[in-house]
C-alpha cells in the first residue's frame, strides 16, 4: 500500500512509497517479457482513463497497464466525451462515480483538475498530466529508467534541459529527484525558466555546455510551442545550437552518461536524430518502463499488495 489514496503530485509520495513503486515495477517488468503478459491481480476492478487533452503515449501506457492486471479499462477521450458538449468536471465526476469505477487517471489542460476530481470522488485518482503543473507517473518511470541504467539514484546529477516553465514533466521530476537524493539541475535560457526557479529546489544554469561533463543524465524536454506565448527564443535553429543535444555534446559527457526524453520529440530541435536513435538514448526504454511502473502504481493503490500476486 502507499501512504495516500491518490497520486496527484510528488507531494503525495514519500521516499518509501517511491522505493516500493520502483521495486514492485521490477516484478512487473519481468511479467512484461513473458509471452503471456497478463496477471489476474485487479480482476473485477474498473480503471477509467479520463483524457481531456490529446495524448497517445501516456493514455495507451495506462490502458495496457490496467489490462495486463486484468482490470476493466475504459477510455474517455476529449473528443468522445461530453465535456466538448459543455459538461462540467463536476458532472463528469458524478457520472463516473455512478458507474462505480475504482481508479480514474486524469489528464487535463488545467492545473489542479485532478485534485478537484479527487475531492469530488470516492475512488483513487492518478494525475496523468495537468496543464503545466505535474505529471507524477512520468517522473516515476524516469526514476525507474535511471536506476536500471545507472544502478543507483542517490548522488546522480541530472540536467533537465529546455522548456522548464511550461513543463509538467519538470514539475514532477525535480521534486522526485530530490526525494531520492539526486541533484536536479535545470538548464534553460532565462525566457524558458519560471520567474523563481530557485523555488523549484533545483540548481539553475543557463549554459548547457558548461554542465555537460558533470551530468550523469541529460534529460531533454520538448519545446512546447503550443504553450509558449510568443517566441521565447529567436528561432528553432538558434535554440538547437545552444540547447539541443547532439553528437558533439554527447561526446563531452561522461562515457556512461545517458540521454532521456519524455516524448514526443522534436527531432533536430531539442535532440538530434542520431542521438535520439543512438545507444545512449533511453527514449524507448522509458516508454517500456512506463507500463511496468504504471502497473505498480495501480497495483499498490488498489490494494493489490494484499493478494500476494506480484511482490
Ligand atoms: C509529456 C506530456 O504530455 O506532458 N509527454 C508525455 O507524457 N509523454 C511531455 C510533452 O508533452 O512534451
Domains 10-131+289-306 and 136-286 share a fold: yes
How sure is the predictor about 85, in pLDDT bands with cuts at 50, 70 and 90? low
Q: For residue 160, how far is its CA from the centre of ligand 1 (angstroms)?
A: 14
Instruction: Map residue 252 onto helix, strand or coil.
Output: coil
pLDDT of residue 225: 72
Please name the CATH architecture into which domain 136-286 falls: 3-Layer(aba) Sandwich (3.40)
What does the pLDDT average to over 176-202? Answer: 90
Q: What is the pLDDT of residues 97-136, one digit of tens each?
A: 888 899 999 999 999 999 999 999 999 999 999 999 999 9
Q: For residue 308, how far is its CA from the centre of ligand 1 (angstroms)?
A: 33
Question: Measured between alpha carbons, how far is residue 110 from residues 56, 100, 107, 133, 247 in Å?
Answer: 18, 25, 9, 8, 37
pLDDT of residue 155: 98
Share the mean pLDDT of the chain: 92
Q: Which residue has the higher pLDDT, 281 or 92?
A: 281
Residue 311 has pLDDT above 60, yes or no: no
Q: Give the C-alpha separation, 19 to 171, whole Å.
A: 20
Set of cell numbers at residue 250: 554527447
Cβ contacts of 277-284, under 8 Å, gap ≥ 24: 278/247, 278/250, 280/250, 282/145, 282/149, 282/258, 283/259
pLDDT of residue 305: 47
pLDDT of residue 77: 74
Question: Among all chains, which residue has been given the C-alpha cell 474498473?
Answer: 46
Closest Cα partner for 98 from 40, 48, 64?
48
pLDDT of residue 81: 67
Residue closest by Cα to atom 7 of ligand 1: 58
What does the pLDDT average to over 166-185? Answer: 96
Instruction: Quickly name the fold that domain 10-131+289-306 has.
Output: Rossmann fold (3.40.50)
Q: Which residues are catalytic?
A: 57-58, 85, 107, 135
Does 95 sit behind a cis peptide bond, omega within 30 degrees of 0 on the bond before it? no
Residue 44, phi then psi, degrees to nearest 5: 90, -10
How sure is the predictor about 78, in pLDDT bands with cuts at 50, 70 and 90? low
pLDDT of residue 21: 98
Residue 128, phi then psi, degrees to nearest 5: -95, 20
Q: For residue 96, how far is its CA from the centre of ligand 1 (angstroms)?
A: 25
Residue 294 has pLDDT above 70, yes or no: yes
pTM of the model: 0.94
Q: Give the C-alpha separation, 276 to 2, whole Å.
A: 35
Structure-derived torsion over alpha carbons of residues 308, 310, 9, 157, reported in degrees to the nearest 10? 130
Residue closest by Cα to atom 12 of ligand 1: 222
Lining residues, ligand 1, CB within 6 Å: 57-58, 129, 135, 138, 168-169, 222, 224, 262-263
Residue 80 has pLDDT above 70, yes or no: no
End-to-end CA distance of the chain: 11
Cα–chain-centroid distance for residue 176?
11
Cα R_g (the chain), whole angstroms: 19
pLDDT of residue 310: 46
- E strands, the chain, in order: 46-51, 72-77, 103-108, 124-130, 157-161, 183-187, 203-205, 217-220, 258-260
Ligand 1 atom having least distance to the Cα of 224: 12
Q: What is the pLDDT of residues 32-61, one digit of tens each?
A: 999 999 999 999 999 999 999 888 899 999
Set of cell numbers at residue 261: 526524453
Ligand 1 atom having least distance to the Cα of 138: 7
Question: Among all chains, which residue has been given the C-alpha cell 462540467?
Answer: 88
Residue 189 has pLDDT above 50, yes or no: yes
Contact (CB, 8 A) for 135 and 143: no
Q: What is the pLDDT of residues 253-276, one digit of tens each?
A: 999 999 999 999 999 999 999 999
Domain ranges of the chain: 10-131+289-306, 136-286
How sure is the predictor about 227, in pLDDT bands with cuts at 50, 70 and 90? low
- E strands, 223-277, in order: 258-260
Amino acid at each position: 500500500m502507499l501512504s495516500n489514496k491518490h497520486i496527484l503530485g510528488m507531494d503525495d509520495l514519500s521516499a518509501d512509497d517511491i522505493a516500493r513503486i520502483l521495486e514492485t515495477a521490477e516484478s512487473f517488468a519481468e511479467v512484461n517479457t513473458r509471452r503471456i503478459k497478463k496477471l489476474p491481480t485487479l480482476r473485477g476492478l474498473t480503471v477509467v482513463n479520463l483524457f481531456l487533452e490529446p495524448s497517445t503515449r501516456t493514455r495507451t501506457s495506462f490502458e495496457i497497464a490496467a489490462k495486463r492486471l486484468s482490470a476493466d479499462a475504459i477510455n474517455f477521450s476529449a473528443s468522445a466525451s461530453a465535456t466538448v458538449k459543455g459538461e462540467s468536471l463536476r458532472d463528469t465526476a458524478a457520472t463516473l462515480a455512478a458507474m462505480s469505477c475504482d481508479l480514474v487517471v486524469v489528464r487535463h489542460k488545467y492545473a489542479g483538475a485532478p485534485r478537484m476530481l479527487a475531492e469530488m470522488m470516492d475512488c483513487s485518482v492518478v494525475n496523468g498530466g495537468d496543464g503545466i503543473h505535474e505529471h507524477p507517473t512520468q517522473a516515476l518511470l524516469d526514476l525507474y529508467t535511471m536506476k536500471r541504467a545507472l544502478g543507483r539514484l542517490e548522488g546522480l546529477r541530472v540536467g533537465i534541459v529546455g522548456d522548464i516553465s511550461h513543463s509538467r514533466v519538470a514539475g514532477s521530476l525535480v521534486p522526485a529527484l530530490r526525494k531520492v537524493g539526486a541533484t536536479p539541475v535545470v538548464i534553460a535560457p532565462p525566457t524558458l525558466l519560471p520567474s523563481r526557479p530557485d523555488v523549484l529546489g533545483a540548481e539553475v544554469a543557463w549554459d548547457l555546455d558548461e554542465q555537460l561533463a558533470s551530468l550523469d543524465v541529460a534529460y531533454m524536454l520538448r519545446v512546447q510551442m503550443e504553450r509558449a506565448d510568443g517566441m521565447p527564443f529567436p528561432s528553432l535553429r538558434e535554440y538547437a545550437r545552444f540547447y539541443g543535444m547532439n553528437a558533439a555534446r554527447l561526446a563531452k559527457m561522461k562515457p556512461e552518461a545517458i540521454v532521456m526524453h519524455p516524448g514526443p520529440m522534436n527531432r533536430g530541435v531539442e535532440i538530434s536524430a542520431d542521438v535520439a536513435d543512438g545507444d545512449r538514448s533511453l527514449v524507448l526504454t522509458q516508454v517500456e518502463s512506463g507500463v511496468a511502473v504504471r502497473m505498480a502504481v495501480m497495483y499498490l493503490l488498489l490494494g493489490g499488495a494484499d493478494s500476494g500476486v506480484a511482490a
